[in-house]
A and B are shown apart, each in its own frame.
Chain A
Amino acid sequence: MDKIKRLDSNLLGRLLKDIEKPGRYINNEIGTKSKSPGTIKDFQSLILMALVFPDIYEVGMSNLGLQILYDIINKQECFSAERVFSPWIDFEEKLRREKVKIFSLENRIFLNSFDLIGFTVQHEFLYTNILNILDMGGISIRTGDRKNKFPLVCAGGPAIVNPQPLSRFMDFFVIGDGEEVVISILQRVKKYRDNNKDKNWFLQEISKLDGIYVPGFYKFYYYPDGRIKSIEPGKKVKKAVVKNLNEFEIVEDPIIPNIKVVHDRFAVEIMRGCSRGCRFCQAGIIYRPVRKREVNSLVRQSIAGLKKTGYDEISFLSLSSSDYSEIGHLLDKITDSSKHGRLSVSMPSMRLDSLNLKLFELIQSGRKTGLTFAPEAGSQRMRNIINKNIEEKEMLDCIKMAFSSGWEKIKLYFMIGLPYENDKDIYEITLLVEKIIAAAREKLSGKKLARLKINISINAFCPKPFTPFQWAAYDNPENLDSKFDYILKNVPKRYVNINWTDSRKSRIECALARGNDRVGEVIESVWKNGARFDNWTDFFKLSVWEEEFKKAGLDIDFFTTRNLSKDEILPWDIIDIGISKEFLLKEYDRAKECL
C-alpha cells in the first residue's frame, strides 16, 4: 500500500479553533489500544482498519460493540484498529473548507490510507452519514468506482441485516456477530496485500466465510411492478454466530471518554439474544440464539473492570435482563463489592413486574430516577397480537408498587399503526394512562403527586425485515396522524408529556428498512442534496427524501403501506438469519388467531 498519510500535528490546533466540543476530536483517552508509529518498528506492515461509527463521538463511544471489536483487533499483533466518528456539522464545514480529509482519532491517519474501513450501522438514518464520511475521506462512494485495491469498504451491525439499500456502496457486508469473523477477514486482507492478489480473489476468499455477503456476486431480477423476480445465485449467506460468549472476556479496560458521552458508564453484556417473541421486534430475531455469560466470571470481570476504569456506574446489557437466570445473584455480588451508595447499577430493557421491582429497589439504593415501561399497546387484544405477553393487572400492580416505594417519574412506550389495529385499541391507550394516573392518586400523597411526571413516547409501527410482521403494511401517515391526534386530545393533560415521531419521517425509515438495491440511488441523491444526521429532527429533510424517491421512479408506498405478499421474494431473502421464513409466517398467522 501507499505510504500512510497523517494529519500534520500543527494543523489540529488551527482546525479546532472555534469548533464546538473540540474534545470529540482529540483522542488521548485512557484505554486506547491502537498501535502507534512511535512504538511499532514496522508500522507500514500492519493491516490498518478504520472502525467507523457514523454518528457523533458521544453516541459512538456509548456503543459496546465498537469497544468489543476495537479490543479484539488491537490484541492481534499484525492488525491495528483506529476509530472514526462523524464530525459535527461545524467541523465538517471546517475540514471541507480547509480541504483536509477526515482522519482517525488515534494516529490521525486519513481515511483513505486505511486497508479496511468498517462501518457499524445501528439504524437506517445513518445511511447518509456513511456516504458523507466516505466522501470526506476522499473515497468514491460507489464500490464500482473504487478501482484501487485499497481501502476495502464494508459494513456490519443490526441495520444491515437487509444490506440491499447500501449494496452499491459496500465491497462486502458482515452479517451477525463480529467477534470471530473480523479476525478471519483481516487475515485475508493481509494475504491479499502481502501476496498482491487481485480484488476478486479477495472477495471470493471472504465470501466463503459465514456472515459475509458480497453484493457484487449477486444479481437481482425484477418484475415491472418492482417486485423481485429472482436472485442469482440462490445460495443464502449464513449469519455469523459466536457459539459461546464466554470465550470472549468482557472488555475490562475499555476506552474511557474524556468528554461526557451518552452512556458514561462501564458496560457489560450479560446475555445476547432474547427468548421472548414480540412479533414486531427485529433484535429479538436477529440476535438469536440466546446465549448467556457465566455468572461467576461475569462478577469477577465486572469488579475488575470497575477497578480498572474508575467508573462509578455499571450497566448490565441484554435485550431482556430480567430473563437472565442469575440476575439477583449478579446484582448482590456487584453491590456488595462497593460501599453503599457509591456505585449505581443500571439495567435497560428490564421486564417490569412486581418481582423485578424488588431488584430495582436493590440497585437504585437512594436515588430514584425514572421507571420505563413498554406496554407497546393499550389493549390486551393488541398486546396478544404483537405477543407482548404482559397483563394489564400485573403492570398496574407493579406501577402501584413503584409509586408506593417513591418513584414519581414514569416513562411509557407505545406503538400505533400496528397490524389489525382498530379505534378501540387506540382508545385503550388513553384509558391505560388514566388508570396509571388513578393509581398515582391512590398511592402518592399531595406533594409527591404534584411532582408526578408521565412521559409517553409514541412511535409509528415500522415493519422490519426478519420479523413475523415483515410482511405487514406501514399504516398511512394520515391514519397515523389522526390516531395520534386522538390520543393527544383524549389523554389527561395533567402530569402527562407526549412525544411523537413524525409519521412521514417514520415512513422513510420503513422504506429504507424494507428497501431493495434501487433505494441506494435515493440515498445517494438525498446525501448529495445535503442530507446527513437524518436522525436529528433539525436536520431531517423530509421533502428532499420524498422528492428523490419520486425522481428515482420509486414509490414510497410500494415499500411501506403495501402488504407484502407471502410468496414474494424479499430483498433480504439472500440472508439466512438463522430463523426460517416458514417460522416467521407461522408467527404472523398466529397473530391473526388473537383477533
Chain B
Amino acid sequence: MTELKNVCETRIRFKFYKKDEFKYLSHLDISRIMTRAIRRAELEIKYSLGYNPKPKIGFSPPTPLGVESMAEYADVLLEGNIDESAFKKKLNLELKPQMQISEAREISGKIDNLMNAAAVVLYGFELNICSSDNKDLLKRFYAGLKEDLTTGSDFCHSIFDLKIMPVEGSSDILLLKLFGYAKIFKEENNEIFKFNNFYGFFKNWLKEYCVNIKDVKKEELFVLSGGILKTPMEIV
C-alpha cells in the first residue's frame, strides 16, 4: 500500500523569485498565478478530501508588497511520478521571466510546512546617505543601530543578525536577518516583526539619520533544523 502511494504522487519543494514588476503582486496573487501555471503545465496538483477540496500547495510566509524576493518557497503535492528537473523546466515555460523557479527538489521524508518553519529571513538593501559628503552620519546610524540592538527596543526583538558590506561612494549594502514566522518564535515572543510594512518599519530611523534605503530584497529564508539555521532546500 505504501509503495503504491509513492508511485502515485510526488512531493516537491521549489524555490522561485519574483522581481521587477512582479514585486507589486501580493502573496495571494502570486499563489494564484503559480497554481494556474501548474495547471497550464499539465501537472496535476492533488486535492484535499472533504466538502470543499483544496489544492495541496503551500507557500512560505508573504513578502511585503513592493519588495523583490529571491527566496520564495512552495511545497506541492502532485499526481504521478514527476521528475524534479522536468517539473522546473515545464513550469518555467508557463511563467513570466519576472517569476521563475530556480530550484526544485523532491521531498522524501516528513517535513514541517513552510509557513510554520520559517525562522529567520534575510533582507538586503542598499543604504544611501542623502548628503554625499557626510560619511559621519553613516557611522552615527550604525552606532544607533547597535544601540537599538542592545537596549531592548521592539526593534531589537526582530533583528537576528546584521552585516554591512561597503560599496563605492556614499552607500553600503546592508544584510539584515530578521526573525520570521516560525511557530517556536510565535509562542515565545509575540512581539515578532510581521513584515507588514518594511518601509514603515524603518521610517523613523531613516528620518533621524537622514538616510535612504533602496532595492530592498528578500535574499533568503532560513528554518531551524537541529538547532542550526538552514535554507528550506538544505533540509529536504
Q: Which residues of A contact B (CB under 8 A)?
A: 12, 16-17, 22-23, 25-28, 30, 256, 258-260, 264, 307-312, 341-342, 366-367
28 contacts between A and B (CB under 8 A): A16-B24, A22-B24, A22-B65, A22-B66, A23-B24, A23-B26, A23-B29, A26-B22, A26-B25, A28-B22, A28-B96, A30-B96, A258-B22, A258-B25, A259-B25, A259-B29, A264-B32, A308-B40, A310-B35, A310-B37, A310-B40, A310-B94, A312-B39, A341-B47, A341-B53, A342-B53, A366-B51, A366-B53
Partner of A311, one of B36, B47, B51: B36
A260 lies within 8 A of B25 (CB)? no
From A16, A17, A258, A341, name the one whose CB has the most chain B CB atoms within 10 angstroms. A258
B25 lies within 8 A of A23 (CB)? yes
Minimum CB–CB distance for B40 against chain A, Å: 4
Instruction: Determine the distance from Cα of A26 to Cα of B39 in the docked complex, in whole angstroms.
Output: 24
Chain A residues, Cβ within 8 Å of B136: none
Minimum CB–CB distance for B213 against chain A, Å: 12
Partner of A27, one of B21, B32, B42, B66: B21
B28 adjacent to chain A (CB < 8 Å): yes
Instruction: Determine the distance from Cα of A28 to Cα of B98 in the docked complex, in whole angstroms.
Output: 9
B52 adjacent to chain A (CB < 8 Å): yes
B22 lies within 8 A of A259 (CB)? no
Instruction: Determine the distance from Cα of A259 to Cα of B53 in the docked complex, in whole angstroms.
Output: 23
Q: In chain B, what residue has the closest Cβ to A22?
A: B24
Chain B residues, Cβ within 8 Å of A307: 40, 42
From B24, B26, B29, B36, name the one whose CB has the most chain A CB atoms within 10 angstroms. B24
Minimum CB–CB distance for B28 against chain A, Å: 7
Minimum CB–CB distance for B87 against chain A, Å: 15
Q: Which residues of B contact A (CB under 8 A)?
A: 21-22, 24-26, 28-29, 32-33, 35-40, 42, 47, 51-53, 65-66, 94, 96, 98
Going nearest first, the 10 A-B pairs with the smallest beta carbon separation are A310-B36, A310-B39, A22-B24, A310-B40, A26-B21, A23-B25, A259-B29, A28-B21, A23-B24, A26-B24
B52 lies within 8 A of A367 (CB)? yes
* A260-B32, A366-B53 given; 4 more Cβ-contact pairs under 8 Å: A12-B21, A16-B24, A26-B24, A312-B39
Would A256 and B36 be within 8 Å (CB), given that A23-B26, A28-B98 are in contact?
A: yes
Minimum CB–CB distance for A51 against chain B, Å: 20
Partner of B38, one of A27, A30, A309, A310: A310
A309 lies within 8 A of B28 (CB)? no
From A22, A260, A308, name the one whose CB has the most chain B CB atoms within 10 angstroms. A22
Minimum CB–CB distance for B49 against chain A, Å: 10
Instruction: Determine the distance from Cα of A16 to Cα of B96 in the docked complex, in whole angstroms.
Output: 21
Q: In chain B, what residue has the closest Cβ to A30?
A: B96
Instruction: Determine the distance from Cα of A234 to Cα of B40 in the docked complex, in whole angstroms.
Output: 54
Instruction: Determine the distance from Cα of A264 to Cα of B32 in the docked complex, in whole angstroms.
Output: 11
Instruction: Determine the distance from Cα of A310 to Cα of B21 in the docked complex, in whole angstroms.
Output: 22
Minimum CB–CB distance for B69 against chain A, Å: 15
Chain A residues, Cβ within 8 Å of B42: 307
Chain A residues, Cβ within 8 Å of B21: 12, 26-28
Q: In chain B, what residue has the closest Cβ to A24?
A: B24
Chain A residues, Cβ within 8 Å of B66: 16-17, 22
B28 lies within 8 A of A260 (CB)? yes
Partner of B52, one of A27, A258, A366: A366
Chain A residues, Cβ within 8 Å of B22: 26, 28, 258
Minimum CB–CB distance for B227 against chain A, Å: 40
Minimum CB–CB distance for B77 against chain A, Å: 15
Chain B residues, Cβ within 8 Å of A259: 25-26, 29
A342 lies within 8 A of B47 (CB)? yes
Instruction: Determine the distance from Cα of A25 to Cα of B28 in the docked complex, in whole angstroms.
Output: 17
Instruction: Determine the distance from Cα of A377 to Cα of B186 in the docked complex, in whole angstroms.
Output: 56
Minimum CB–CB distance for B212 against chain A, Å: 12
Minimum CB–CB distance for A344 against chain B, Å: 11
Chain B residues, Cβ within 8 Å of A311: 36, 39
